């Protein structure tokens, strides 16, 4: 019934390749099916100005999509002179999500910038960016620990994300593009490794949804997140 | 326990004054406690380009905040040359939320632009904008119906929004600013008049939240929305 | 003969409601007929950089118009990414006009920003902004005096403004929109409470005007300013 | 008493050299003392969109200042990405002023763009731009007439401008930079060749001014304009 | 003597992997040592406006660098709101270079956009972008031919590029970053498959160079281009 | 055979008038035939931030073209909000070229900004800007030496530039606009007074060129540069 033949609660193939960019303190290429996102983490010695003198650090994210990551070419945001609303919304979400797994006092007065650039898009790019961004962040934190610039681990838990939606009247896990564009309700769920909720964003442009549909999607999300966290563990080990 | 002395599930005072701007096809000034938002709806004869020839209409929203709506003055976005990420995120949400209550075929090839400008802010401005924006939209649609430019009502249901959050360890309804800035988890809920869910956006920067906390907030939201919808009904009657 | 039936030298109804925004140090909503402008004054501890170390303060203004303040919706300047030439010209005028009534040494090294936002427009918005902006400024200065942050009053006189023009061949006072758009010559006059001139801006796109017409408009302006200053006095008392 | 030793009502040396740029339909280099402005007029076949189908033409102006036209280098507006408020205000004034001497029906559906670029600045650049811009416009109109693209002259009268101000307590004509920066009141006067008024812009940042001072400045302006119009006549003959 | 131990006329390892992005009509990942550039070619049905009705097509290029492609993170151009001068210069070069190998009449009225995004940078990114961009272009042209949208091949010859420079007083081929940043003279050479010159850009910030040094660099370039063209042939076969 | 009747290796008339802008530390108006460029040099007390504390100075350049310097009016870059790619490319070239003749340690921690503004264009504006820019720079350096702010001359040699190209199948020197727009290959050559090469930029959009054509153009360039350096010497003596 799903275009890919997947079961309602079946994730696409997950692959996380680490250390793909030699300059970055942490990096990975995450592939969720045909969605490929390159994530790098860059450590900066100074925190953003609003944190100067507080002893706290910061984690922020930027998101981009290569012009031909999609079926038809998108205008390059650098050339058009501004980031689209969608881009800004996504990168704010990634930053908030990753910070939920960070002890900012342990990080100290520095900033880690996580860049998530979509090489190829097939639905779920923001979720892949969060899941892969966490791996890059984890690897950068390892470098800080190894160099003894910080002494206690600033990463408090895994952070991973997955999309779910009502497709063809059924709750399905990990929407690919053709499902996403046809879905009545569409949700993104960010959870910690221990299963607590960090972000829930559910949206219905067409038909409104019920409380029970919401809970069915959450069930799917919890099962998907378990697989993503497991893939993160394999990648960083 | 709440700074205002309100009960956990108690809304602030709701007031909706209609037809406050003589030029607009629909308008209201909505006050949710000390949060005051001016909402206008403007009918444009032509739909956005991507809908030309489809027979469908569009509803979109723009959001702004006067520089001194807040405790300290904010830089005027028109002067700084761009809308902040927060602004863009909010106006996309308002547009999506309102479209969930619109039959775009009944609207026909035209666009209604809903402008929501915050005169005074004390938490929950995006929710007030959605609730008040719907009233402006409803009044503009009435004008289209009265002029017989359209024959069937494009408004399919009420749309209203409220924020809830975990404040001081307790789920509370309709956060004002001091609660909002201290809340661990913060959520915005958009529902239809018949109680179906349109948008759920829950976010935890500090502590993650549980499924049961999510449901408690949703309970609060449902009760708040009922009062908001009732105020909408009084306003437009 | 005038569309409103007013006499040639008759002002529209003037109303000034103070303290309309709880956060601002000074604020008012000024209504000149159907032109409604919300004015707030914000005190900033630091002067602009070019005054650092001089002992002098600064008063500046910003002007905006809500998108649907006018008969047809205007594009939101924050969304288009820049302020129009008209906006910039107006806010420079408001700032210059208000500074003419300020003792900048008495103000000390701080800045007061006066924001004038047009809620509803029917001609004469810049003049209403100056007249109302002065009230907001006066109230903010009162707050500085009351808190003993400054000891001598920085406000040296009232500042008020009115437009006059040649309409239907006759000099008329306080143009409303339909008159303004048909006027051959159009002038804005800013005067002090004691009747001295601060700004005179007269302009003829169509027919040039004579010295005697200029003086007739000035006569009208002087009489209008007296009523505006009287309304200011009532408002702040 | 004046830094240059000029009498109160004495203009600086006026020089207008025509046809200084081979590509432009009309051009001149106007020198008012040490203020040098290059003015070109460019004929465009099409009017601006808002005049399509009206049979009317348009005259507009753009103003710029080379970075080192002034005593200390100004940032290049093309590099900073926007025109300053002062620039926008000036070019709007030049356009309005020139249009006051144009029969837009005789011009027909075309546009003439007058570019005024300040090569060297010593006060009064906007007035020099108007006076020189008129010469460039006149020459371009001559070309239209000579080519029989239009049959009746669209130029109805000379347009010229001069600044006057209260300097050292005295009304003086044609302020140079050191006078301008010290003047209490500063005015720009645009008149037609027949002595009618087109624009009066008087401004007092410091001390307010009286009606009689206003008239003294106007007297000066009228005498200066006569000399400027005479120089225009010589230049185009 | 070279940091890498390479001979003066020795290229780095060349690798070109094709069809790396499923959506693009042509794509490759080119690796020249540690410089990795992702190149995609996108076919657009319409030519740029200036070619409408001419029967000719166009090839253009855009260039970008992921923020952490370099040793320290670069600001994302989409976030800063404009492309740097260096970016603009490079993408103009890539476009000109590729057009030199295209028969624009055979291409017909369509446009091919070649996007070159640097994943990892170690010197010579613009040359890698040209060499890889040609492969993406070749593959896209093959698709047009296969679909019989065009009947004769618009690609007239290979286009490839390499950098050479004076490093440590010696002419060297294919500079990597540490060489590039220390080189006195630095040149980029674009040649066709048959060895004709398309672009020569030589530049000396420090010491000027002689005609004989110029020719030595050109000798190196010719030998490097042969290897690059050979790698292109292997990649597309 | 050339439109102007010039010999293949014949320069246009060269004229360099110095000290044309009274405020600038150095200035000239250079005329190469009908190409006229105004060049000013401005001394700034502080170097750019990246040189603070290094003891080194900087020379940079900005380039502009008045809107009607060309046959049809160009849009003013200040009004369009950004500099075109061509402008950015040219001003980067001018800066690099001039720095090749500067001893930055002798200059000390200060910056000289060279502004090159094209008054009238007829091909070769970037080359005229470099040649005239050097004269302005030389005069500004003289002022620094005369005031004893620096003690040893920071100017190490003349810098001049000329364009050459293949026009009608023949190598020609100093292309004017009609030649430039028809040339198959087009090159810009920057040399020092002693004949060493600083920049070579050759480009073929249409037909590729050979090594021997490259050398023929270089021969022409060397002969043109001699005449330009000679004109520089006359101008500054």
Q: What is the pLDDT of residues A134-174, one digit of tens each?
A: 999 999 999 999 999 999 999 999 999 999 999 999 999 99
Neighbours of chain D (3+ CB pairs under 8 A): C, F
Q: Is E185 annotated as a binding residue?
A: no
CA distance E95 to F209: 18
Phi first, then psi, for residue F111 (nearest 5°) are -125, 140
Q: Is the model's pLDDT at C205 over the cut of 80?
A: no
Cβ atoms of A182 and A167 within 8 Å: the answer is yes
Q: What is the pLDDT of residues B137-149, one digit of tens each?
A: 999 999 999 999 9
Using a 10 angstrom Cβ sphere, with 0-12 exposed, 13-18 middle and 19 or more buried, the burial of residue A146 is exposed
Mean pLDDT taken over chain F: 96
Q: Which of E91, E197, E211 sits opposite F208 (nearest CB)?
A: E197
Q: Is the model's pLDDT at F219 over the cut of 80?
A: yes
CA terminus-to-terminus distance, chain E: 37
> For residue C2, what are the β-bridge partners?
none
Q: Is C92 annotated as a binding residue?
A: no
The overall longest dimension of chain C from CA atoms, in Å, is 57
Sole residue written with tokens 């025109």: D83
ipTM attached to this prediction: 0.95
Q: What is the pLDDT of residues F53-100, one digit of tens each?
A: 999 999 999 999 999 999 999 999 999 888 998 999 999 999 999 999
Instruction: Give how far B22 is from chain A: nearest CA, Å.
Output: 31
Q: How does pLDDT run along chain A (237 residues), one tens digit per residue?
A: 899 999 999 999 999 999 999 999 999 999 999 999 999 999 999 999 999 999 999 999 999 999 999 999 999 999 988 899 899 999 999 999 999 999 999 999 999 999 999 999 999 999 999 999 999 999 999 999 999 999 999 999 999 999 999 999 999 999 999 999 998 899 999 999 999 999 999 999 678 999 999 999 999 999 999 999 999 999 999
Cβ atoms of B105 and B155 within 8 Å: the answer is no
Q: Which of C23, C78, C87 sits opposite B120 (nearest CB)?
A: C23
Q: Which tokens in the block code for residue A162?
A: 């997955």
Domain ranges of chain E: 14-236
Residue of B nearest to A188 (CA): B201
In a mutagenesis test of the F interface, which of D65, D77, D78 is the best target, namely the one with the most F β-carbons within 10 Å?
D78
Q: Which of E86, E187, E218 sits opposite F211 (nearest CB)?
A: E218
Sole residue written with tokens 């950015």: F88
Q: With beta carbons under 8 A apart, name residues in chain F contacting D132.
A: none
Q: With beta carbons under 8 A apart, name residues in chain C contacting B112.
A: none
Chain D positions with Cβ closer than 8 Å to F: 21-24, 27, 34, 38, 40, 42, 44, 62, 64, 66-73, 76-79, 81-83, 87, 113, 115, 117, 119-121
Q: With beta carbons under 8 A apart, name residues in chain D contacting C100.
A: 204-206, 208
Q: Is A125 annotated as a binding residue?
A: yes
Identify which of F120, F122, F127, F126 has the alpha carbon closest to the alpha carbon of residue F181: F122
Instruction: Give how far C56 is from chain B: nearest CA, Å.
Output: 21
Report DSSP state, residue C22: T
Q: Across the interface, do E79 and A81 touch by the CB < 8 Å criterion?
A: no
Q: Is the model's pLDDT at F1 over the cut of 90?
A: no
Q: Across the interface, do A208 and B200 touch by the CB < 8 Å criterion?
A: no
Contact partners, residue E121, CB within 8 Å, separation at least 6 = A23, E35, E65, E69, E70, E177
Segment C69-78 mean pLDDT: 95
Contact partners, residue B190, CB within 8 Å, separation at least 6 = B93, B97, B100, B130, B159, B160, B161, B197, B198, B199, B200
Q: With beta carbons under 8 A apart, name residues in chain C contacting B64.
A: 66, 76, 78
Sole residue written with tokens 């002395």: B5
Q: What is the pLDDT of residues B66-87, one digit of tens each?
A: 999 999 999 999 998 889 989 9
Identify which of B68, B62, B15, B13 has the alpha carbon closest to the alpha carbon of residue B39: B62
Mean pLDDT taken over chain B: 96
Q: What is the pLDDT of residues F174-210, one digit of tens each?
A: 999 999 999 889 999 999 999 999 999 999 967 899 9
- Give the pLDDT of residue E205: 67
Identify the band that residue C110 occupies on the pLDDT scale cut at 50, 70 and 90.
very high
Q: With beta carbons under 8 A apart, name residues in chain E contacting A69.
A: 21, 23
Segment C110-121 mean pLDDT: 98
Mean pLDDT taken over chain E: 96
CA distance B62 to B90: 8
Instruction: Give how far B92 is from chain A: nearest CA, Å.
Output: 8
pTM of the shown model = 0.91
Percent of chain F with pLDDT over 90: 95
Instruction: Give how far E236 is from chain F: nearest CA, Å.
Output: 23
Instruction: Give how far A200 is from chain E: nearest CA, Å.
Output: 26
Identify the band that residue F214 occupies on the pLDDT scale cut at 50, 70 and 90.
very high
Q: Which tokens in the block code for residue F115?
A: 């502004």
CA angle A178, A180, A185 (to 5 degrees): 145
Q: Across the interface, do C197 and D210 touch by the CB < 8 Å criterion?
A: yes
Q: Is the model's pLDDT at B1 over the cut of 90?
A: no
- Give the pLDDT of residue F205: 66
Q: Is the model's pLDDT at C50 over the cut of 80?
A: yes
CATH of domain E14-236: 3.30.230.70
Segment E131-152 mean pLDDT: 97
CA distance A60 to E111: 38
Q: With beta carbons under 8 A apart, name residues in chain A contacting B85.
A: 88-89, 91-92
CA distance F199 to F97: 7
Identify the band that residue D207 occupies on the pLDDT scale cut at 50, 70 and 90.
confident
**D18 by DSSP, 3-state: which?**
strand
Q: Is the model's pLDDT at B206 over the cut of 80?
A: no
Q: What is the pLDDT of residues E62-111, one digit of tens each?
A: 999 999 999 999 999 999 888 998 999 999 999 999 999 999 999 999 99
Cβ atoms of D93 and D126 within 8 Å: the answer is yes
Report DSSP state, residue A20: -
CA distance A40 to A143: 13
Q: Is C75 annotated as a binding residue?
A: no
Identify which of E100, D208, A97 has the alpha carbon closest to the alpha carbon of residue C157: D208
Q: Which of E78, E113, E119 sits opposite A78 (nearest CB)?
A: E78
- Give the pLDDT of residue A98: 97
Q: For the residues of chain B, what is the DSSP string, one character each?
A: --TT---TTPPPPEEEEE--STTSSEEEEEEETTEEEEEEEEEESS--GGGTTSS--EEEEEEEE-TTSSSSPPPPHHHHTS--HHHHHHHHHHHHHHHTTB-HHHH-S-EEEEEEEEEE-SS-HHHHHHHHHHHHHHHHHHHHHHTTS-SS--B-S-EEEEEEEEETTEEEES--HHHHTT-SEEEEEEEETTS-EEEEEEEESSS-B-HHHHHHHHHHHHHHHHHHHHHHHHHH-
Q: Across the interface, do D78 and F76 touch by the CB < 8 Å criterion?
A: yes
Instruction: Give how far B196 is from chain A: nearest CA, Å.
Output: 6
């Amino acid at each position: 019934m799903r275009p890919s033949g997947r079961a309602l609660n079946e994730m696409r193939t997950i692959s996380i390749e680490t250390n793909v960019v030699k300059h970055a303190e942490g990096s990975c290429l995450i592939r969720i099916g045909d969605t490929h996102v390159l994530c790098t983490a860059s450590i900066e010695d100074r925190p953003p100005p609003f944190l100067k003198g507080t002893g706290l650090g910061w984690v922020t994210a930027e998101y981009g999509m290569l012009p031909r990551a999609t079926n038809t070419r998108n205008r390059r945001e650098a050339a058009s002179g501004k980031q689209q609303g969608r881009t800004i919304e996504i990168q704010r979400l990634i930053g908030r999500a990753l910070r939920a797994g960070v002890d900012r006092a342990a990080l100290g007065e520095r900033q880690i910038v996580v860049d998530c650039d979509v090489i190829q898009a097939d639905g779920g790019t923001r979720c892949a960016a969060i899941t892969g961004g966490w791996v890059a962040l984890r690897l950068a934190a390892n470098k800080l620990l190894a160099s003894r610039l910080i002494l206690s681990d600033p990463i408090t838990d895994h952070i991973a994300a997955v999309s779910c939606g009502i497709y063809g009247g059924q709750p399905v896990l990990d929407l690919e593009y053709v499902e996403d564009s046809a879905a009545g309700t569409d949700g993104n769920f960010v959870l910690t490794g221990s299963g607590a909720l960090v972000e829930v964003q559910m949206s219905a442009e067409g038909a409104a949804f019920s409380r029970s549909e919401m809970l069915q999607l959450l069930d799917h999300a919890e099962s998907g997140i378990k697989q993503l966290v497991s893939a993160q563990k394999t990648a960083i080990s």
